[in-house]
């Protein structure tokens, strides 16, 4: 009795393993969406790689000694602006220094003295205090629409007409009463 139970368990495990690996090998991966973009590490200059690896910085090169612009820390992910010509509440979705995005209302303080001053349909303008605009961030352009036309099936794979099933009373299936 024990040997039969042990044989059953072993065969059940073998069958489960075969089904698992069969499904695993025949499964097709999901398609990548058309708007997906690959993540690529961008190096601003060869000097950045040298500095990262412990090399010195050349004080004579003004491009290396200048700090990056303040706008490079911010990334605009979305805008909900009032319609043009109307006033109303607006919100911008921002990621600062690669942190998770947060929503900022129009006129709110984003960081320090930096405030969200104006919103457009695809842009946000930031400024310090009551002064003028410090910088403007724009949303990336939308991908072009998919305008492909459906393809026709080859003649041998077209729709094949199927005859209707006979009626139980023996009448013609094409005639309705």
Residue pLDDT, tens place only, 102-136: 999 888 888 888 888 888 888 888 888 766 668 88
Lowest mean pLDDT among 7-21, 23-37, 46-60: 46-60
> What confidence tens digit (pLDDT) does each residue in 43-83 have?
567 777 777 777 765 555 555 566 777 778 888 888 988 77
- The domains of the chain are located at 70-138
The number of angstroms, rounded, from the C-alpha of 102 to the middle of its chain's C-alpha atoms is 17
> Is-contact 113 97, C-beta < 8 A?
no
Looking at 1-124, list the stretches that DSSP marks H as alpha helix, in order from N- to C-terminal side: 2-26, 46-52, 62-65
* Residue 3 pLDDT: 92
Q: Which CATH number fits domain 70-138: 1.10.3470, 3.90.550, 2.30.30, 2.60.40?
A: 2.30.30
């Amino acid at each position: 009795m024990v040997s039969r139970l042990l044989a059953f368990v072993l065969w059940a495990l073998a069958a489960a393993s075969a089904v698992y690996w069969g499904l695993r090998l025949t499964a097709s991966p999901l398609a990548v969406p058309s708007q997906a973009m690959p993540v690529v590490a961008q190096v601003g200059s060869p000097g950045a790689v040298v500095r990262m690896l412990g090399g010195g910085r050349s004080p004579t090169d003004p491009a290396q000694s200048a700090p990056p612009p303040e706008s490079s820390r911010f990334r605009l992910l979305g805008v909900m602006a009032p319609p043009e010509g109307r006033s109303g509440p607006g919100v911008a979705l921002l990621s600062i220094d690669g942190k998770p995005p947060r929503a900022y209302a129009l006129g709110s303080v984003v960081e320090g003295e930096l405030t969200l001053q104006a919103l457009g349909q695809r842009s946000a303008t930031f400024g310090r205090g009551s002064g003028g605009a410090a910088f403007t961030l724009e949303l990336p352009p939308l991908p072009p629409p998919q305008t492909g036309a459906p393809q026709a099936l080859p003649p041998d794979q077209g729709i094949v007409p199927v005859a209707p099933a006979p009626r139980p009373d023996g009448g013609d299936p094409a005639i309705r009463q």
